[in-house]
């Protein structure tokens, strides 16, 4: 009795109860579909995060005033204000793994042009800022070193701000009001695109950090220093150099905690990717539970089916079916159900993730490995949950089975 012919017997048995077979397979269809759709959402989110960080450049480093490692002892506001523009200059001069440095400070403000106004963030940086951030301009120019030194009231617009204040008009040379102060527009940044989640990188204005410091915030320290290493693989060297330099400059005794924090983009990207991976696992895990429930459904129906067909099993045994023939017959039925369910579930899952990305605007990625895994898993669900009923059938006593009414 070969497997092909057993398959035929099983298919016919399933065909006799089409509605029941479909409802049984539905558990697997939904389970597999859910796994594929959920994992595609998770992987889409992960890819979006990775793409976003990659577009920022993997050789980026940030120096921030210390805001971690409080055990109730430190934590005065003084620790936030001791990062100065001079620190940035020192890093530029003394660390040879560092390429560009820009002090950075941010504020939010209402910006006005003519009868339009818009609330946006004001990013302060040096003239090196676009080089560090890989920014490009669609029009005009960035501010230069002299304008940074003189804290000139000039700015470059993000594409979203440009759209909101100027629509299709040319903003170059126009004067907008930021917190009622006049700022001359020098250029417009190329759109960096929405990258899901965090914040819109096109919705901001860039101005010299000195201007943001003195005119908008009224402080003499800076919030952070953005640094680019000479290359991506020099990032950790640059990090060490900065750390050593900063400890000397800030006179931190050996063994004492840093009052600053240096992080590099690849670490940040990695931790962000990790958190989206956790999301993926969580979603997939929940979906797996529904696949398990589908498996229990198969087991339930197979047990019913065995009971209904005890007489048939007895007949088959009386004409010479061995235990393994009966076992194989019922196991094949269960596996057929789960594999058909798996295939339909893949179709459902791929369709659902397509619809989610179309309608919901979520980036989804259906990977072949998740399809393969879901298919394999649904097959194993059939084997695992079909085995007990099939074994029960194969262990029946032929005399009892033939007598069964």
Residues at the interface with another protein (CB under 8 A):
1-2, 5, 9, 16, 311-312, 314-325, 398-399, 402
Q: How far is the CB of 402 from another protein (least distance, A)?
A: 7
63 touches 224 (CB < 8 A): yes
* CB closer to another protein out of 156 and 317: 317
Q: How far is the CB of 307 from another protein (least distance, A)?
A: 16
Q: How far is the CB of 390 from another protein (least distance, A)?
A: 16
* CB closer to another protein out of 321 and 371: 321
Q: How far is the CB of 396 from another protein (least distance, A)?
A: 11
* CB closer to another protein out of 99 and 309: 309
* CB closer to another protein out of 73 and 319: 319
* CB closer to another protein out of 6 and 172: 6
Choose among 123, 62, 84, 79: nearest CA to 219: 84
59 touches 258 (CB < 8 A): no
Q: How far is the CB of 381 from another protein (least distance, A)?
A: 28
Axis-axis angle for helices 265-308, 18-56 (nearest 10): 180
CB under 8 A, 24+ apart: contacts of 168-175:
170/139, 171/113, 171/139, 172/139, 172/140, 174/113
Name the helix (H) or strand (E) containing 60.
Answer: strand 60-65
Distances (CA, A) of 163 to 6, 9, 113, 121, 159: 68, 68, 12, 15, 6
Q: How far is the CB of 327 from another protein (least distance, A)?
A: 11
Structure tokens given for 104: 């950075």
* CB closer to another protein out of 244 and 323: 323
Name the helix (H) or strand (E) containing 130.
Answer: helix 129-133
DSSP at 160: H
């Amino acid at each position: 009795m070969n497997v092909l012919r057993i398959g035929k017997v099983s298919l016919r048995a399933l065909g006799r109860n089409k509605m029941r077979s479909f409802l049984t397979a539905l558990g697997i269809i939904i389970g597999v579909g859910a796994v594929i759709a959920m994992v595609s959402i998770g992987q889409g989110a992960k890819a979006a995060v990775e793409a976003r960080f990659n577009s920022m450049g993997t050789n980026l480093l940030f120096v921030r005033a210390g805001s971690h490692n409080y055990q109730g002892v430190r934590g005065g506001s003084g620790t936030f204000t001791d990062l100065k523009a001079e620190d940035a200059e020192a890093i530029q001069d003394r660390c040879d793994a560092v390429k560009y440095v820009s002090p950075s400070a941010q504020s939010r403000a209402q910006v006005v042009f003519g009868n339009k106004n818009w609330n946006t963030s004001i990013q302060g940086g040096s003239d090196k800022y676009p080089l560090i951030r890989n920014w490009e301009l669609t029009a005009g120019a960035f501010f230069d070193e002299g304008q940074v030194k003189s804290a000139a009231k000039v700015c470059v617009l993000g594409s979203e701000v440009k759209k909101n204040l100027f629509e299709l008009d040319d903003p170059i040379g126009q004067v907008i009001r930021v917190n009622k102060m006049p700022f001359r527009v020098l250029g417009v940044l190329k759109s960096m695109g929405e990258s899901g989640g965090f914040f819109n990188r096109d919705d901001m204005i860039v101005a010299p950090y000195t201007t943001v410091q003195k005119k908008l915030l009224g402080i003499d320290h800076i919030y952070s220093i953005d640094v680019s290493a000479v290359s991506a693989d020099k990032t950790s060297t640059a990090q060490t150099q900065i750390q050593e330099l900063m400890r000397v400059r800030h006179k931190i005794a050996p063994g004492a905690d840093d009052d600053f924090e240096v992080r590099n983009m690849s670490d940040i990207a990695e931790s962000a990717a990790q958190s989206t991976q956790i999301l993926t696992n969580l979603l997939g895990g929940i979906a797996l539970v529904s696949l398990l429930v589908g498996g229990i459904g198969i087991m339930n129906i197979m047990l019913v089916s065995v009971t209904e067909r005890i007489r048939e099993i007895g007949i088959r045994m009386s004409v010479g079916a061995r235990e393994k023939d009966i076992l194989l017959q019922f196991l094949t039925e269960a596996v057929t159900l789960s594999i058909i369910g798996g295939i339909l579930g893949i179709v459902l899952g791929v369709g659902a993730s397509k619809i989610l990305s179309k309608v919901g605007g979520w980036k989804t990625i259906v990977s072949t490995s998740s399809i393969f895994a879901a298919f394999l898993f649904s097959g194993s669900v059939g084997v695992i949950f079909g085995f007990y009923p099939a074994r029960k059938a194969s262990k029946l006593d032929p005399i009892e089975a033939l007598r069964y009414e």
